[in-house]
Structure 1
C-alpha cells in the first residue's frame, strides 16, 4: 500500500511504503527512525538553496498557484500545455523572459519537493518555442534604459571633499569609510550593507570583528573578512585586502578614522551615530544625494556603480585582466564588460585624479 503525503502547496503524492527487512532495526547508528530521516531529507533539500533563491522561488510558486486557481488547473504534476499557458500569462503581465525562466526553475524545484519525478522542463519543445517567442517579442518592443555609470576616481575626490566639509560628523566618517571599502574592495554594495535594519545576521553580514590590521602601531593593510557572498554559496569566506595608498583616497585611513569614532562595540560594522545599521537602500540614497549636491545627475548611479568603477579604473591603470578578475572575485568573464566596453568611454575621466 502507498500513503498520501501533503506537498508544500497542498497537493498530494503517493509514496510506496518502505518496510524494514525482517529482523532489521528501523533505527540506525544515528538513533533516527524513518520519520526522523525524512525530516532530515526535507531540511537538507530546503537548505540546498541560498536564502535569496528561496525567496525568489517562493514568490514564483505563489504566482503559479494564483494562475492555477484562476484557470482551475491542477498544479502538479507539471504539464507542458499548462506551462505554455502559464509563461504566456506571465508575458502578458510584462514579466521579462529571464524572470520567466527562473520561475520555471522554481516550479521544477516545487515538483521535486512534492516527490514527483523531475519534469525535465528543458525537454519540452513547445514550451522552449514559446519562451523564445517571448524573448524575441520583448526585444522588439524593448525601450533601452540608461546604463549604470561607474563611480570614478574623480567622483571619489568630490565625495571626499563633500563629506569632509561636514566637519567631525560621525555619519560622514561612516559613509566615507563605506564608500572606500566598497570601491577599493571591488565589493557589491549588498556585501557591505544589510537588506533592512531588522535583517542583520552576524553569521553572514560584516561585523566589527571581521576587520583586522597588519600592525597595530602603524597599520598599512586592513583585512575585511567577507563571510558570505554571491560567488561563495558554501560560505568558505574570503579576505578583502585594503592597502594604504598615501594619498587622499586611502581606504585604510578612511576605515580606521571611522572605527576610532565607532568604538569597539560588537555588531554590524557600518553604523550610523544613532546605532542604526547601514542598509543597502540607504547607502545608495545617501550617495545619490551627495552626488546631486555636487551637481552630478545621480539617476544613473547605483550600488553596483562602485564595483563597475573599480574594475574600470583598474583596467585604465594597466592592471591585467586576471588580476582584475581575482580582485573582484569574478567566477566568469562578466568583468570584461566593464574593462572593455566601458573603458573606451570612461578611461579619460577615470585616469584623471584631480587634486583634492
Structure 2
C-alpha cells in the first residue's frame, strides 16, 4: 500500500520521521557512513561510464559492483576489513534511507554470498603471521643452565628444578605437557619421582606415562646418559632426586616453602 498523498504534505510528521531517523545512529557512526557512501559514489563515477550521482538509484547496485568496490578499498585505498565493513554499512544505510532498498541483499532479502566470501578473504589476508618458533640450541641451553646455576630465582631447589626440566626436555625431545601439569597434578599421567630410574652409573631412564604419540597410554621409556659439562641430564636428575624423600611423589618445586607441581604458565 502506497503512502497517501495527505501524509506526504504533512511537514510536522516529516520532521518527526527525519529526527527519529537521525537518532537511529550516533554522530560518529553517521560520519563514517557518510564517508563510506561518498567513497562508493566516487568509485562508481570513476568506473561506470555516464554515471550520474544525482540520478543514481541504489536498486541498480549489483553484487559484482560491491565486490569490486571491496577490492578497490582493500588493494587501492589500503583499508582494513573493519573499515570496509563500515563503508558497506554506509552504502546500505543510504540505500535504505533514500531508496528504500538494501543494496547488500538480493531481491529475496538474502545476503550476497560471493560478497561475503570476498570480505572473508579480506579478513583472512589481514591475519597476523604466526610467530616463528626458534629452536633451543645446545649453546642456548648451556646459557640457560649457567644462568640458573647462578641463582636466577634465589632458591636453590627451584633453580635446580628448572635446570633439570630444561635439560630433560632438550635431550628427551619432550613437549611441554609431557613434563609439566596443565592444572591439577595427576599421578596417572604426570611425571613422578618413581618414573626416574638410575639403571647404572652412567644411564638413567625416564618413564613418560602419557604422550601425544602414545594414544594407548602404554608408556615410553627414554634413556639418558652421563656426559661432561653443565648440561648433563644424569647429574641434574641425580641432584634433583636427592632432594626428595618421597619416592612416590611428584617432581615438585618449593616456592616459599610450599609444595607445588611444575605447571605450564
TM-score (norm 2): 0.50
Contact 1:163 1:172 in 2 (8 A): yes
Say which SS state the counterpart of residue 280 (structure 1) adopts: coil
Structure 1 contact 202–268 (Cα < 8 Å) conserved? yes
Structure 1 stretches lacking a partner, 5+ long = 1-91, 93-128, 282-356
| 2:251 is the alignment partner of 1:251 | no
1:236 corresponds in structure 2 to 218
Matches within 5 A, 1:72-91: none
Q: Conserved in 1, the CA contact under 8 Å of 2:225 and 2:234?
A: yes
Q: Cα offset for 1:134?
A: 8.9
1:275 paired residue number? 259
Residue 202 (structure 1) aligned with residue 187 (structure 2)? yes
Q: 2: CA distance between counterparts of 1:238 and 1:274?
A: 31
Q: Within 2, Cα distance between the matches of 1:137 and 1:235?
A: 44
Q: Is the 8 A contact 1:213 1:221 kept in 2?
A: yes
For 1:135 and 1:243, how far apart are their aligned partners in 2? 53
From 131, 149, 155, the counterpart of 2:140: 155
Check conservation: 1:209, 1:266, Cα contact below 8 A.
Answer: yes
Structure 2 distance, partners of 1:248, 1:133, is 56
Question: 1: distance between equivalents of 2:119 and 2:192?
Answer: 44
Q: Is the 1:223–1:239 contact (alpha carbons within 8 Å) kept by the matching residues of 2?
A: yes
Question: 8 Å contact 1:193–1:270 — kept in the other structure?
Answer: no
Q: Distance in 1 between matches of 2:172 and 2:119?
A: 39
Instruction: Report the CA distance shift for 1:133/1:202 in structure 2 as closer, same or farther (over 3 A).
Output: farther
**1-structure distance, mates of 2:118, 2:251:** 47
Deviations 1:78-98 (A, max 9, x none): xxxxxxxxxxxxxx9xxxxxx
SS of the aligned residue for 2:243 comes to helix
Task: Indicate how the Cα distance of structure 1 residues 233 and 141 shifts in structure 2: closer, same or farther if over 3 A, else same.
Answer: same
Which residue in the other structure is 1:171 paired with? 158
Contact 1:227 1:235 in 2 (8 A): yes
Residues 207 and 269 in structure 1, CA contact (< 8 A), matched pair in contact too: yes
Give the C-alpha shift of residue 246 in structure 1: 2.0
**Larger Cα Rg: Structure 1 or Structure 2?**
2
Q: Per the alignment, do residues 140 and 258 of structure 1 end up closer, same or farther by CA in structure 2, a change over 3 Å counting?
A: same
Once residues 203 and 241 of structure 2 are traced to their aligned partners in structure 1, the CA distance between those partners, rounded to angstroms, is 15
Secondary structure at 1:258's aligned position in 2? Answer: helix
Say what the alpha-carbon RMSD is for the aligned residues.
2.9
Structure 1 position 139, deviation (Å): 3.8
Residues in 2 aligned to 1:263 and 1:156: alpha-carbon distance in whole angstroms: 29
Shift of 1:276: 0.8
Shift in CA distance, 140/206, structure 1 to aligned 2, threshold 3 Å: same
User: Counterpart of 2:197 in 1: which secondary structure?
Assistant: strand
Name the SS for the 1:181 alignment partner. Answer: helix
Does the CA contact (< 8 Å) of 1:178 and 1:270 recur in 2? no
- TM-score (norm: length of structure 1): 0.38
* Larger RCO: 1 or 2 (CA < 8 Å, sep 6+): 1
Q: Secondary structure at the match of 1:158?
A: helix
CA–CA distance in 2 between the matches of 1:135 and 1:277? 44
Q: Please say if residues 163 and 176 of structure 1, whose CA atoms lie closer than 8 Å, have aligned partners that are also in contact.
A: yes
2:178 counterpart of 1:191: yes
Distance between the aligned counterparts of 1:157 and 1:239, measured in 2? Answer: 25
Which aligned pairs between 1:99-110 and structure 2 lie closer than 5 A? none
> Would the aligned equivalents of 2:148 and 2:163 in 1 still touch at CA under 8 Å?
yes
CA distance in 1, matches of 2:216, 2:252: 24
- 1:121 aligned residue: none
For structure 2, which runs of at least 5 residues remain unmatched after alignment? 1-80, 82-113
